[in-house]
Structure 1
Amino acid sequence: MGRMDDACKNVVTAVEGAIACGVVDLDTGMLLGINNGAQYTQTLNEIVAAATMDMFRGPNIMRIQQMVRVHRGLPENGENYFDEVHIVSKNNFHFAKTLRGGRAVIMLVTRKSTNIGMGWAQLRAAIPSVEPLVP
């Protein structure tokens, strides 16, 4: 995971107030890379990766997408609707964006003092250096 970890570290250092950055494979749920200034355990990092996968490909999300297609009279094509997710927790902002046509997702966690627009801008600016590393 060395190069992906380095790419995640570059994202964390580029964003004021960043705490962690990780990349998750959306087919397997595997953590492809991470840089975590909060020093979470590997187990906690893997649980966060699984939760990130659920936000984009979990069974309820997939069911909603199927129901929307039925409601709109569209054929079932397995298309995934969510490209970006922003979550506000008690102490942090969580930015997540799909990569490689939805094959992976990059997640950035910042303190709430981070400017939301700058968080998104910096995350998007990092994509050209992170995306080629996604298998």
Structure 2
Amino acid sequence: MSDLEGHLQKAIVSIPECVAAGYVDLSTGMLLGIRTVDSHPQEVLELLSAATSDLFQGTNVVTIENLFKKARGLPADGGYHYFQEMIITSDNLLHLFLRGKTHTDHVVVFVCRRSANLGMAIMKARTALPDIESVV
């Protein structure tokens, strides 16, 4: 997985004010890779995969996805997920969660300083996603 961490590091450098990147496998609940430029509490890193799984696979999220699929005539079990990206802001940070395009059960997480330009951070994160997925 050192190749994965190298690609996460490359993404950190390209995304404005990015301080961390992680790669989560939703099907196993495992954090497959993590790179940070600042020190982060170990407890936070340990909970990242669980929190990411809750965001994308929580009971209410899955229910909403299924309702949207039904309303749009999409198959309920076709591997398609309605929610592709989530953005969370905190007092100091911007958290970007992007579901994989090739591996739809994987999510890449980028954490940027809140002062980052949101549009540029999203664009750069989207650009980095295929490169990161290519090594998994």
User: Are the equivalent residues in 1 in contact too, given 2:22–2:108 (CA < 8 A)?
Assistant: yes
Paired positions, count: 133
Name the residue aligned to 2:132: 130
The residue aligned with 1:36 is 36
Amino acid at match of 1:62: V
Q: 1:22 & 1:101 partners in 2: Cα distance?
A: 15
Show structure 1 runs of 5+ residues with no match: none
Identity across the alignment (%): 33
Q: CA deviation at 1:41?
A: 4.4
> Structure 1 residue runs of 4+, over 6 Å off?
none
Q: Which secondary structure state, in structure 2, belongs to the residue aligned with residue 27 of structure 1?
A: coil
Q: CA deviation at 1:73?
A: 8.3
Letter in 1 for 2:134: P
Distance 1:36 1:23 in 2: 12
Distance 1:73 1:7, change over 3 A: closer
Among 112, 118, 126, the alignment partner of 1:110 is 112
Larger proportion of helix: 1
Q: Which amino acid aligns with 2:126?
A: R
Q: Please give the alpha-carbon distance, in whole angstroms, between the structure 1 residues aligned to 2:23 and 2:47.
A: 13
Q: Determine the C-alpha separation between the residues in 1 that align with 2:107 and 2:4.
A: 13
Question: Partner residue of 1:60?
Answer: 60
SS in structure 2 of the partner of residue 32 of structure 1: strand
Name the TM-score, length of structure 2 as normaliser: 0.85
